[in-house]
Structure 1
Amino acid sequence: MSQVPVPRLARGIVIVVLAGFTSVYLLAGSPLALVAFGLQLVYVLRPLRRFRGPWLLVVQALVGYAATLGFGTSVGLLGFLGGSLLLTPAWPLAPLVAVSAAVAGPADPAISMVLIALVIYGLTRLTDRVDEMHAARLALALAAAAEERLRIATGLSEGLGRGLAAIAAGVRSVMGQPERAAEVLGEVVGTARGSLAAARNAAADYRATSLAPEMTTARAMLTAARIKTETRVGHSEPLGPAGALLAAVLREVVTEAVRQNTARTCVIETTAADGTVRLRVTHDGARTAEDESLADLAPQLSQAGGSLTTGLSAEGWLTVDAVLPEGPVRAEEDPGAYRLSVALLAAVLVGFSIKALLLVPASLLVPAAACLAVIVGMQLRYVNGRHMAALTVMALLFYLPIPVFGRAWLGVAGFLAGPILLAFRWRVAWPLVGCVTASVAASAVLLGLPVPVTVNFAASTVVTGLVVYGLLKLAQLVRELQEARQALARSAVVEERLRAARDLHDLLGHSLAAILLKCELARRLDPERARDELADVLAMAEKAEADLRVISGEQPAMSLAAEAASARSVLAAAGIQVELDLAHGELPTEVENVLGTVLREAVTNVLRHSSARHCAITTVVADGVVRLRVRNDGVRSAEGRPGSAGIGNLTTRLAALDGRLGTAREDGWFELTAQAPSSLPVAGPVG
């Protein structure tokens, strides 16, 4: 799409076409055409639209009829008035203006009046449609995101919401009837385990429509391993099931590259073409072309209609190519504007053809009409793209009949100028149109036509070309805007799904894992000590329900201090000694949310992936940056996989705040550090 804002480009096209019409009457000696042009801009330029009203139509009528009846201007100038009437509730008066033009002038200018009115109406309507669609693009994206959020919230409430409610009810039952503790706690543990699995599965499903999170995780992993990384994104999200498979391929290739620790450079590239999406990963650290980690994925890609291939260059560069059919995600088209433009184009082409036939001798009407029918048919069939064969045929049908049809054929040149403007870039198109116009003028001279007539034919060539170009270009802009706003809406839906996936993993996953741990612990304790653990479980279940509201978008705020207190409780229950030192003070809500999420993920990893006995959680603010540090002494160097979904989520969240995530291992200690701005800039007014 052009770098010029689309609504401005659309109005520019309309103004140029109106200026072209005006120039024809100025060259004919009618200065009032400038007044008619200025009045018409009220319907085109947004700042002037407040001047619309019945009085404007009255003034336009006075100018138009004063020029035609008082100063002998061609009645074609009344097309400005006719077009304006078509744009207002007074449109039934437009045919009366056309009738008055037919009565006052010859057939040729009367036809011009009707054509100008139709063109003005069509171009202005298309411009209004461009404005409407451009203004509504963000509203559509927000509505799509809100609808997806509601759908996610409904699905989670029906599944995980019921599970959390069952856990809370079970714990209350145990606390009220200790004699049933063993039986009920078994059910609670089963429910908690099932809810945790459901949360992880839901998170995986939400992530599966997009490859973007896995690319972010891959870059973070490779960068941490000191591997120079380059990513080139050439696909559109969401990818649907293809995204999940390609993400699995990328994850395996990158994990293997990091594990071997021999690569120095890695390039990750995606492309989309011909209904397929391709992922290509290349790095210089392979020893062989075989990658056992991909053995299970190749049949899956094949079953999905794709392919997975690997190759090793002589220089030791491994290339992994994964190709899958692209998901059938297409923007809904709005055919109304396009049909309007094509219908008006057909009317304009037929009208100009009739004007040409009025000048053809009766004996040549049939061959002239046949040639024009071919030209009009080709114009309507090849309205988009660069069709060199069609342009060549139209050029021959214009130039070859000139000796036969004479001056009547000079007006057909505009049919050639319009497609040229559409087919080429302007730096090529305008010189070509200039050549066509010059050839018209030269032909008129050779035919012995007077200078005013020669100038009129040359100007008409440009104006007709602009009309054809304007009608089709505005229709293209409408279609591009339709696709762009649908893409924006899809992106908003993808972002909402990824947010839900991150929250499910980082928020609810932590709470459910903690509940499961506490319940298992309570089953092994005597009733008195178990009561304390169950009280914690009940509090955690309530917290998990709050997490569910966060994921549903109902409760966006999170307290880092509260998360730290919860982390200390969970870690202590697992027999881990906790050192807590918080010195961060008041933070922006966005920063506190992200750091609280980082802390949850860090504590979950301490419980799941280490044999820690000590854990230190600290925060500090310095130089406008808040740093959260989580250290534990339970590193298992030979276990675990680098680049979990949680780390990728956290990297993405912090990057959005211009923050970063770091990890380090030293002397049996693992340290995770997250930093973010301690204050965020206040957004200024949108102007």
Structure 2
Amino acid sequence: MLCYPFLAAAGVNQYAHGAGLVSGYLLLVAVSVCYLGIVVAAMRSAWRVHWWLVALMTVLVLLLAPLAHENVLILAAVIVPCAAARVGARTAAVLVVLGAAVCVVVPMTVPGWSTGGSWYYAVAVVFTTLLVLAFSRTATANQQLREARAEVARLASEAERNRIARDLHDLLGHSLTAITVKSALARKLDPAAARAEMESVEQLARQALSDVRAAVSGYQDVTLAGELARSRELLRAAGVAADLPTACDVVPAQRRELFGWVVREGVTNVVRHARAGRCTVELTASTVEVSDDGVGGPVGAGSGLDGLRARVSDVGGVLTAGPAGPRGWLLRVEVAA
């Protein structure tokens, strides 16, 4: 939007002279600085500063009006989007209508102002505001997604620590107790019986070591059950109703890791792109489906589906992804039985 002050500068150059010309250029520089300050304030969520800068920029534009005449109205395409980005949809619509109306009506009522560019200025206000709103909503959604994923990662990490502690307790509790009892018993027996007991202790120790390795490797694996749990948390954090299976016993063990990747990719795309109210995951022995009731749309090039499609292809499966009528999106993977 920094191109708009340059367009307004044409009016200053045409209508102002001498000191007025210098003042006009200085005011345009100040307007540009205010806009940059608004961008920085928005990035830092300093909304009080944001509104003060919007107000200051409006005052500067009003001071510039006698020097740039009708050309100053192009700066409404800077003020209106900056204000509309921080209000609700209804208020933003009112601001857009008012901004466009000012661009059309004011040149008709001020003597000496040309009406030739009025509709151009009005269109600039409308389309610039729509562009800024779309960018703002996307940035907000991405920020919320990052926060939700960070929260899910924290919860998942905590849950995994608790799982490992529980698994180690369950896996090792019996083994270590048996080792302790058998070791104490071996001290009281004759050498032949004690040797047999110590061989049993050795077997228990090896089993305990194998159990620990299994618990640690499970911590790093992608599992269908784990992805369903993480997806439920992610959808909850994103405000999307989750219709997910509570168990995955119907899926053969050799397919659960692949189906876990499918659930991860599908649910992430629902949260990031779909603007959905509900997400559904359905499992059978040979298929997994992730669907939503969002906006749908074509398959994007270079998406994360490419990597998933390669995983599915490696096991001879088929991946289908696309809009699901009348609205929504469907991701389906089928693996031959």
TM-score band, normalised by shorter chain:
0.5 to 0.7
CA drift at 1:370? 1.9
Of residues 210, 213, 230 in structure 2, which corresponds to 1:546?
210
- Superimposed CA distance per residue, residues 139-163 of structure 1 (whole angstroms, 9 cap, x where no aligned partner): xxxxxxxxxxxxxxxxxxxxxxxxx
Give the Cα–Cα distance (whole angstroms) in 1 for the partners of residues 133 and 82 of structure 2. 7
- Superimposed CA distance per residue, residues 395-418 of structure 1 (whole angstroms, 9 cap, x where no aligned partner): 222334424431121111111111
Q: Is the 8 A contact 1:356 1:409 kept in 2?
A: yes
Gaps of 5+ in 1: 1-347, 557-588, 591-655, 659-675
Q: 1:421 to 1:405 in 2, by over 3 A?
A: same
Q: Which residue of 2 aligns with 1:352?
A: 4
Of residues 13, 16, 32 in structure 2, which corresponds to 1:376?
32
Of residues 493, 510, 514 in structure 1, which corresponds to 2:174?
510
Q: 1:679 to 1:370 in 2, by over 3 A?
A: same
Give the Cα–Cα distance (whole angstroms) in 1 for the partners of residues 5 and 109 of structure 2. 23
Q: Which residue of 1 aligns with 2:191?
A: 527
Q: TM-score scaled to structure 1, two decimals?
A: 0.29
Q: Is the 8 A contact 1:410 1:444 kept in 2?
A: no
Question: What is the percentage of aligned positions where both structures have the same residue?
Answer: 30
Q: Which residue of 2 aligns with 1:366?
A: 22
2:128 partner letter: T
Structure 1 SS opposite 2:104: helix
1:423 partner letter: R
CA drift at 1:426? 1.6
CA drift at 1:356? 0.9
Q: 1:490 to 1:555 in 2, by over 3 A?
A: closer
Give the Cα–Cα distance (whole angstroms) in 1 for the partners of residues 198 and 176 of structure 2. 14
Of residues 76, 79, 84 in structure 2, which corresponds to 1:416?
79
Q: Please show how residues 544-583 of structure 1 align to structure 2 within 5 Å.
A: 544-553=208-217
Q: Is the 8 A contact 1:440 1:457 kept in 2?
A: yes
Is 1:396–2:48 an aligned residue pair?
Answer: no
Give the Cα–Cα distance (whole angstroms) in 2 for the partners of residues 372 and 357 of structure 1. 7
Q: Which residue of 2 aligns with 1:179?
A: none
Runs of 4+ in 1 over 6 A off after TM superposition: none
- Superimposed CA distance per residue, residues 320-378 of structure 1 (whole angstroms, 9 cap, x where no aligned partner): xxxxxxxxxxxxxxxxxxxxxxxxxxxx41x2211110122341332222222222212
CA drift at 1:421? 2.1
Give the Cα–Cα distance (whole angstroms) in 2 for the partners of residues 444 and 391 of structure 1. 23
Structure 2 SS opposite 1:423: coil
Give the Cα–Cα distance (whole angstroms) in 1 for the partners of residues 208 and 175 of structure 2. 6
Structure 1 SS opposite 2:217: coil
Is 1:684–2:288 an aligned residue pair?
Answer: yes
Q: TM-score scaled to structure 2, two decimals?
A: 0.56
Aligned residues: 225
Give the Cα–Cα distance (whole angstroms) in 2 for the partners of residues 368 and 434 of structure 1. 27
Q: Is the 8 A contact 1:415 1:468 kept in 2?
A: no
CA drift at 1:466? 3.8
Give the Cα–Cα distance (whole angstroms) in 2 for the partners of residues 481 and 677 of structure 1. 26
Q: Is the 8 A contact 1:406 1:447 kept in 2?
A: no
Of residues 438, 441, 444 in structure 1, which corresponds to 2:107?
444
1:535 partner letter: E
Q: 1:355 to 1:545 in 2, by over 3 A?
A: same
Structure 2 SS opposite 1:684: strand
Q: Is the 8 A contact 1:518 1:537 kept in 2?
A: yes
Q: Is the 8 A contact 1:523 1:530 kept in 2?
A: yes
Is 1:453–2:117 an aligned residue pair?
Answer: yes
CA drift at 1:540? 0.9
Q: 1:678 to 1:388 in 2, by over 3 A?
A: closer
Q: Which residue of 1 aligns with 2:129?
A: 465
Q: Please show how residues 3-14 of structure 1 align to structure 2 within 5 Å.
A: none
Give the Cα–Cα distance (whole angstroms) in 2 for the partners of residues 528 and 555 of structure 1. 42
2:24 partner letter: A
CA drift at 1:497? 2.8
Give the Cα–Cα distance (whole angstroms) in 1 for the partners of residues 147 and 219 of structure 2. 33
Q: Is the 8 A contact 1:546 1:555 kept in 2?
A: no
Q: 1:355 to 1:456 in 2, by over 3 A?
A: same
Q: Which residue of 1 aligns with 2:279?
A: none
CA drift at 1:490? 4.3
CA drift at 1:419? 0.9
Gaps of 5+ in 2: 226-243, 252-282, 291-330, 332-337
Q: Which residue of 2 aligns with 1:427?
A: 90
Give the Cα–Cα distance (whole angstroms) in 1 for the partners of residues 206 and 168 of structure 2. 16
1:359 partner letter: G
Q: Is the 8 A contact 1:407 1:447 kept in 2?
A: no
Q: Is the 8 A contact 1:518 1:533 kept in 2?
A: yes
Q: CA RMSD in A?
A: 3.5
Q: Which has the higher contact order (CA 8 A, sep 6+)?
A: 1
